[in-house]
């Protein structure tokens, strides 16, 4: 995976260290996180290394944060920027809308920063103007759709996920899944490839645009590992090769759902071989 870098420009040293530590351990993707305390120091770093994201304070020694961001946006076109400040105003917010991808006023919750970073760097989330705190609330229910024609497997998956407090819908046929996808939005769609005479890949093609629009994570399942490449090319997010252990399934779903720690009950089956897990979006 290509190394990605984040630069925090913040003259409050303790805050900068806290933010850097939170980003290193709290993000789903791996980033190298660096800090600096002034616009001048930031200039040197920008010409030494490419940064995917810059988190910049408004008030900096020797240079206004908005002035620095304007320069960054002019000469480093692929770099995303989040502006943070303890001195917010309508004027600053309006300018942030024009030149940044995110805007947070101090004091802010570290979790809000993590959510904003993931929205800014994830290409599935696009917005005219800057993301704000109000954009970070996720009201989509923790709802899962399981399409699986093996009744025993479908029921045990559903039972395990319901015990972890998820809302689960089960589809024994492609048509049932088609009807449910047409009526509901899902956080995760667990899709078996071989559904009798039909194929889960056909349903994925049919609903790809809607699943992308709603941010649904698609987990394709098959006993045949050669389908991994095909499902990746079709836009699936994960591929699980059968047999699938309950522990692996639940760990993956908890990760996708960003579940609370109390929900992360890892169920294991020592007699079942752990399947291979292929995450396409690290």
pLDDT of amino acid 33: 94
Residues 100 and 181 grouped into a single domain: no
What is the Cα–Cα distance from 173 to 153, expressed in whole angstroms?
Answer: 14
The H or E element containing residue 176 is: helix 174-183
Lowest-confidence region among 133-137, 197-201, 266-270? 266-270
Backbone angles phi, psi at 244, to 5 degrees: -105, 120
One domain, residues 212 and 234: yes
Peptide bond into 204 cis (omega under 30): no
Model pTM above 0.85: no
- Three-state DSSP state, 187: coil
Same domain, yes or no: 91 and 169: no
pLDDT greater at residue 261 or residue 52: 52
Same domain, 176 and 96: no
Looking at residue 275, the DSSP 8-state letter turns out to be P
Q: Is 69 exposed, middle or buried (0-12, 13-18, 19+ CB in 10 A)?
A: buried
In this structure, are 132 and 163 located in the same domain? Answer: no
How much is the mean pLDDT over the chain? 82
Same domain flag for 227 and 164: yes
Higher pLDDT, 257 or 191: 191
For residue 9, give the 3-state DSSP assignment.
strand
Query: Would you say residue 268 has pLDDT above 60?
Result: no
User: Which pLDDT score is estimated for 145?
Assistant: 95
In DSSP notation, 220-274 reads EEES-TTHHHHHHHTT-SEEEESS--HHHHHHHHHHHHT--GGG------TTSPP
Same domain, 149 and 129: no
Domain, as residue range, for 227: 143-279
Reported as a single tens digit per residue, the pLDDT across 67-94 is 999 999 999 988 999 999 998 888 888 9
User: What are the strands of the beta sheet with 31-36, ordered from one edge?
Assistant: 31-36, 4-9, 53-57, 80-85, 102-105
95: CATH: 3.40.50.2300
CB 101 within 8 A of CB 120: yes
d(CA 245, CA 253): 13
69 and 94, same domain (yes or no): yes
Residue 189 shares a structural domain with residue 208: yes
- Model confidence pLDDT, tens digit, residues 130-146: 767 666 655 455 889 99
Q: Do 70 and 177 reside in the same domain of the chain?
A: no
Round to whole Å and give the CA distance between 238 and 240.
Answer: 7
**Contact in structure between 258 and 252 (CB atoms under 8 Å):** no
Q: Check whether 10 has a pLDDT greater than 90.
A: yes
Which of the listed residues 86, 104, 136 is the one where a domain comes to its end?
Answer: 136
| Count of structural domains within the chain | 2
Strand, helix or coil for residue 175: helix
Whether residue 265 is predicted with pLDDT greater than 70 in this model: the reply is no
Last residue of a domain, one of 136, 164, 190: 136
DSSP 12-77: -HHHHHHHHHHHHHH-SS-EEEEEESSHHHHHHHHTTS--SEEEEESEETTEEHHHHHHHHHHH-T
| Between 272 and 245, the higher pLDDT residue | 245
Q: Let me know: does 54 contact 72? Beta carbons within 8 Å.
A: yes
Percentage of residues of the chain with pLDDT beyond 90: 44
130 with 149, same domain: the answer is no
Q: State which of 79, 109, 136 marks the end of a domain.
A: 136
Are residues 203 and 246 part of one domain?
yes
Do residues 6 and 33 lie in contact, with contact meaning Cβ atoms separated by under 8 Å?
Answer: yes
User: Which among 255, 226, 223, 227 is positioned nearest to 153, based on CA atoms?
Assistant: 223
Could you give the percent of the chain with pLDDT greater than 70? 83
Quick check: 238 and 227 in contact, CB under 8 A? Answer: no
Q: Output the pLDDT for position 123.
A: 60
């Amino acid at each position: 995976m290509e190394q990605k870098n984040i630069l925090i420009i913040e003259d409050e040293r303790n805050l900068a260290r806290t933010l850097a530590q939170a980003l290193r351990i709290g993000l789903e993707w791996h980033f190298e996180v660096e800090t600096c305390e002034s616009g001048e120091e930031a200039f040197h770093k920008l010409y030494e290394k490419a940064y995917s994201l810059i988190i910049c304070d408004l008030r900096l020694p020797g240079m206004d944060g908005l002035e620095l961001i304007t320069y960054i946006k002019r000469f480093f076109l692929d770099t995303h920027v989040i502006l943070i400040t303890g001195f917010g105003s309508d004027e600053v917010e309006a300018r942030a809308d024009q030149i940044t991808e995110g805007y947070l006023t101090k004091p802010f919750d570290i979790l809000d920063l993590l959510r904003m970073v993931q929205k800014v760097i994830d290409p599935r989330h696009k917005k005219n103007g800057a993301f704000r705190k109000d954009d970070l609330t996720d009201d989509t229910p923790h709802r899962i759709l399981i399409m699986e024609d093996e009744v025993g497997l479908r029921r045990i998956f559903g039972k395990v996920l319901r015990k972890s407090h998820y809302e689960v819908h089960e589809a024994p046929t492609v048509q049932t899944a088609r009807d449910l996808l047409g009526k509901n939005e899902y956080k995760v769609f667990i899709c078996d490839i071989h559904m009798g005479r039909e194929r889960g890949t056909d349903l994925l093609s049919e609903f790809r645009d809607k699943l992308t629009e709603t941010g649904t994570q698609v987990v394709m399942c098959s006993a045949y590992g050669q389908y991994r490449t095909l499902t990746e090319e079709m836009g699936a997010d994960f591929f699980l090769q059968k047999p699938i252990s309950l522990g692996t399934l639940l760990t993956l779903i908890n990760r996708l759902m960003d579940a609370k720690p109390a929900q992360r009950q890892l169920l294991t089956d020592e007699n079942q071989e752990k399947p291979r897990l292929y995450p396409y979006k690290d």
